[in-house]
Amino acid sequence: MKKTIKGIAAPLSLANVDTDVIMPKRFLITITREGLADGTFADLRFDNEGEVRPDFILNKQPWTTANILVVGDNFGCGSSREHAVWGMRQLGIDACIGTSFAGIFYDNARKNGLALPIVSSETQGDLLQLASDANGGEISIDLETRTITAGDFKAPFEMDDATQTALIRGRDDTMDSLEYVDAIRAFEARLSDTMRVSVIR
């Protein structure tokens, strides 16, 4: 059970940050979920020689320990690669606060315990400003009440019920859905033969 996410928030105001930027393809040639922390935002964090880019927010104090990102519009667009979310989790990111997220990224995040609170443009602006303050302190995301708090600042966020439940319970969707085998069998029984795909081997 995880009802609250607390920590340092880093501002990443760029719009349309795509999953190619979150996890460049050279890190995708793998058959496991592990070892993706170094690849996460690799081209933003490191230069072509592999040296740390000192100007990038996650390379600066105090944001090196950030576990929350305040992001620009349409974050996570592009490729369906779940590696982007696995990598962010392995880098220690627990939540991204933004105005809109691409659909596949949103679903991938939920499966991996990455919270994506959706806020208004105004709240996004306020939080970007708060997060940019090196002495800004921690912010807190309450999943149950759908509220973000930072000092005196308080704002609501949107999150659908199913995602909220999944994040708080930390459940395994596959195992949960297998509790509905009877319903799945009943659905299949209603399908005519011409609606049952059988791929030629």
Per CB under 8 A, which of residues 32..71 are in contact with another protein? Answer: 32-33, 43, 48
Return the number of the residue (5 or 42) whose C-beta is nearest another protein. 42
Q: Does 183 bind another protein (CB under 8 A)?
A: yes
Q: How many residues bind another protein (CB under 8 A)?
A: 61
Q: Does 3 bind another protein (CB under 8 A)?
A: no
Q: What's the CA dihedral at 50, 53, 58, 60 to 10 degrees? A: 130
Per residue, the 3-state secondary structure of 5-35, as one string, reads: EEECEEEECCCCCEHHHHCCHHHCCCCCCCC
Least distance (Å) from another protein to the CB of residue 172?
Answer: 8
Per CB under 8 A, which of residues 122..151 are in contact with another protein? Answer: none
Kind of pairing between the strands at 95-97 and 139-142:
unpaired
Least distance (Å) from another protein to the CB of residue 63?
Answer: 20
Angle value at C-alpha 8, between 2 and 118, nearest 5 degrees: 60
Among 59, 67, 90, 112, binds another protein (CB under 8 A): 112
Return the number of the residue (8 or 109) whose C-beta is nearest another protein. 109
Distance separating alpha carbons of residues 182 and 81, to the nearest angstrom: 31
Among 3, 14, 129, 156, binds another protein (CB under 8 A): 14
Return contacts of 122-128, CB within 8 angstroms, 24+ apart.
123/148, 123/155, 123/157, 124/70, 124/97, 124/98, 124/99, 126/153, 126/155, 127/9, 127/11, 127/70, 127/97, 127/153, 127/155, 128/11, 128/13, 128/70
Per CB under 8 A, which of residues 19..38 are in contact with another protein? Answer: 20-21, 24-25, 28-33
* Binding site residues, another protein, CB under 8 A: 13-16, 18, 20-21, 24-25, 28-33, 43, 48, 73-74, 77-82, 85, 100-104, 107-108, 111-112, 160-162, 165-166, 172-175, 177-178, 180-181, 183-184, 187-188, 192, 194-201
